[in-house]
Chain A
Amino acid sequence: MTEKEDDKPGGMKGIWRGLQQTIYGMAAHDMSRAALRTRASMEHLFILITMGDLLGVPILPPYYSLRLLPYVVPQIATWKRRMLREKDVSDAMF
């Protein structure tokens, strides 16, 4: 969703790109955020299942946990951030 300074076109192209991005922001950015949020919730469930082994609670048989582990590892850092962050009602509103 971001672009490096070098990638930014100038002149009319830049204005056109800016307009496109602004329209996208108005029309569809909240939809893509909602989709990301849904995916993140699914991933949390997924992580919860596989992370059971870490706690010594084998929710899945270890064979399947090990097969799934490579998919889980990249998500752990962001998962921790989301899970441990303090939240209140207003977080649930937007």
Chain B
Amino acid sequence: MNTLWIVVIGIVVIYLAYTQYARRVDRNVIRSDAKRATPAKMYMDGVDFMPTSKNILYGYHFKSIAAAGPIVGPITAANIWGWFPSLLWLVVGVALVGWASDYSAIMVAVRNDGNSLSAISHKLIAPRTRRILFVFIFFYLMLLAGAFVGILAAILSARPDVPFGIIMLALMGLLAGQMMYRWKMDLILTTVITVAVTILAMAVGPWGQTKNEKGGLVQGPVGQAIVSLNSAVDNISGKKPLMSIVDPTGADPRVPVPGADGKRPTTAVYDAATGLVRTLPNYLLWMIFLFVFSYCGANMPIWRFAQPVNYIGFWIMLFTIVLSAVGMFVAPLSGVKDAAGNVIGAFALAPVKSLGFTLAAGKAWQPLWPMLFVTIACGAISGWHALVGSIGTARQLEYETDGLPVGAGSMLGEYSLATLSLTAVSIAGVGGGGGRFAAGVGKLIYAGTFGAIPEVFGTALGFGAFVMIVLTVTQLVFRVMRVTLTEWVGDAIPPVRNMHVSSLISMVLTLALVLTGTWVYLWQMFGASNQLMAALSLLVVTVWLKSEKKNPSYALYPMLFMYFTTIFATLVTARNLYVTIAANPSMGGLPVAGAWAMIVVAVLLVVAALFIGWDGLRAYQRYSGKAAEAKPAVAQARS
């Protein structure tokens, strides 16, 4: 297998899914009509409801949905099961389920006066569905923040060449906000200065790196400064760990990659004999750095920090993705080799590492079904997209016929990003998680620029881009979490209305999850809540189609698959948490408390899903005419 095949498969899947399936559903089931007035035209208020060109809207929707999810999910899945099952799910998921979810969420909102998904579920299914959706959203955000902060802190702690670029990103974000909004400087000049300085800082991180006689990496001046800082912080506890956790899947970035003998070596943070991952004080330092960064993003005026940081991150990400995509195409054709003499375009990762169906008592279970389907969420299907689509995008759609290129097109674009991430991981062959992704990106950039950007800087760019995209999302997640918490409990507990209080509560909850949980479980729980939201969105679409006397099959079957898969995945994760941490006699204190907290969240998610499923079934029957009454849910609740 080589990267060119991935490009070919990607193009074929996108072409067939769009022309042979999506377009038919749009024409025959939804029957979009360019002459029908959209909410953007009917309720134009110049702000939220505003007719917008489909090209702009495509860019806006794509940017809103394609963040860290399509990168982190495929990386994690490839490490657990291999690249082939991951690619298969991406292809099948996006072609049959993913585009349908995004496109339908937009069209349902367009046909319902631009109402949000929660408002439509309130009307069509049951009033309590809206409340349950908010519970989902809050847990979703908490788990997402926990998973992202956990992986970022581990990377910043383990890779001394990365933090400098991120610190400069924060400073450049502040500068960009000042230049654009206070000094009213030209946008292009602002972009060139801030993006160039940030990229330069990312390249300075690994600058001067050498290898010693044993082949070990010796950091350059900037990397060495970060190593000294980490060491000084670790001396606070005499280099003793603050706590230790177990990662049965070995996906935590602090767990080293197995050596030539297939065994993991013991490092400063990993004990190969016991499998314990040690949390040293410098890990806490980088976590606090991330919280400070996110606090600024969540509480400062959006133009001052969050927006400019996001803007700079976007350009760096675009730069990295475009060069990597060119590399995917060029590498197999040119046969370019890396420093070790391997052909860059060839896959080094095993196609199938494990199917995970050997379920041993007392050990973590990672069966391909259902766990793969929650580990890779974005890129195949995601509930977040439905929320963005129904609120942000649907209210700006100029013509109904734009819904397909914007909704389905963006989802297919995100699938491309996910396959690129999977390819980068698969060709790297060494490292783990984010490290493997960065190494693959470094190789692709080297090939894509015909050697103009050396692999070491390409890898630094890959690392920087990865951390940047995850971090820009994390700060926005805390911002949304603060808003959600305030709206949710602000009336009952007035102090929570204070934005600093709600931000701190959100961060403390996240900190508890990161310190006590195991990264993969956090990610899979996030994936489960995300996919349950996707199932809910498809449920709303199914019920709406039924109420409109249209054929709901294209939404109904994917919804049933996602619904049951996700419930089982949540239960398996809860079981893993119990067996490997909560009931593990060698664990104690914080990890056990955290495991129990996550088990409670898992149970809540399952109960909420069962309520929604029951209400959805009743609503479906109502509109099928099987039940005696055929009143809408709200009317029923009032009668």
Contact = CB atoms under 8 A, between A and B. Distances in A.
Interface in B362-399: 387-388, 390-392, 398
Contacts of B390: 90
A35 B43 CA distance: 20
Interface string B458-483: 00000000000000000000001001
A55 interface: no
B250 to A, nearest CB: 35
Contacts of A38: 303
A30 B314 CA distance: 12
A6 interface: no
Nearest to A88: B118
B51 A36 contact: no
Contact of B391 (A22, A24, A29, A94): A94
Contacts of B60: 25-26, 29-30
B303 A34 contact: yes
Contact of B59 (A29, A40, A89): A29
Interface in A18-62: 18, 21-31, 33-38, 40
A1 interface: yes
Given A1-B50, A88-B130, A90-B117, A26 B63 contact: yes
Interface in B128-149: 130, 133-134, 137
A92 B388 CA distance: 11
A18 B406 CA distance: 13
Given A88-B119, A89-B137, A93-B480, A37 B47 contact: yes
Contacts of B118: 88-90
B74 to A, nearest CB: 21
B53 A1 contact: yes
Contacts of B392: 94
Interface string A1-28: 1110000000000000110011111111
A26 B313 CA distance: 11
A86 B307 CA distance: 27
Given A88-B130, A89-B137, A90-B387, A21 B53 contact: yes
B11 to A, nearest CB: 18
Contacts of B398: 2
A37 B46 CA distance: 9
A22 B56 contact: yes
Nearest to B187: A28
Nearest to A36: B47
A21 B59 contact: yes
Contact of A34 (B50, B55, B119, B307): B307
Contacts of A33: 47
Contacts, number: 122
Interface in B499-546: none
Nearest to B488: A89
B484 A89 contact: yes
A25 B57 contact: yes
A30 B488 CA distance: 25
B62 interface: yes
Interface string B43-77: 11111111111011111111110000000000000
B483 A93 contact: yes
B101 interface: no
B116 interface: yes
B318 interface: yes
Contacts of A89: 118, 134, 137, 483-484, 487-488
B311 interface: yes
A76 to B, nearest CB: 11
Given A78-B46, A82-B47, A24 B59 contact: yes
Interface residues of B, number: 50
Contact of B119 (A78, A81, A86): A86
B53 A23 contact: no
Given A34-B307, A90-B116, A90-B118, A27 B484 contact: no
A22 B59 contact: yes
B484 A93 contact: yes
A34 B307 CA distance: 9
A24 B56 contact: yes
A1 B56 contact: yes
A78 B62 contact: no
Contacts of A24: 56, 59
B89 interface: no
Nearest to B480: A93
B557 interface: no
A88 to B, nearest CB: 6
A91 B117 CA distance: 10
Interface in B102-155: 115-119, 130, 133-134, 137
Nearest to B41: A2
A52 to B, nearest CB: 22
Contacts of B207: none
A78 B52 contact: no
A82 B388 CA distance: 19
Given A31-B311, A40-B47, A23 B59 contact: yes
Q: Which of A35, A88, A89, A92 has the most CB of B within 10 A?
A: A89
Given A34-B303, A89-B483, A93-B137, 15 more contacts: A1-B51, A1-B52, A18-B55, A22-B56, A25-B60, A25-B63, A26-B62, A29-B60, A82-B48, A89-B118, A89-B487, A92-B487, A93-B387, A93-B391, A93-B484
12 contacts: A1-B51, A18-B55, A24-B56, A26-B314, A26-B318, A27-B63, A27-B311, A36-B50, A40-B47, A86-B115, A89-B137, A94-B391
Interface of B: 43-53, 55-64, 115-119, 130, 133-134, 137, 187, 302-303, 307, 310-311, 314-315, 318, 387-388, 390-392, 398, 480, 483-484, 487-488
Interface of A: 1-3, 17-18, 21-31, 33-38, 40, 78, 81-82, 85-86, 88-94
Pairs of residues from A and B, 3 with the lowest C-beta to C-beta distance, nearest first: A25-B59, A21-B55, A25-B56
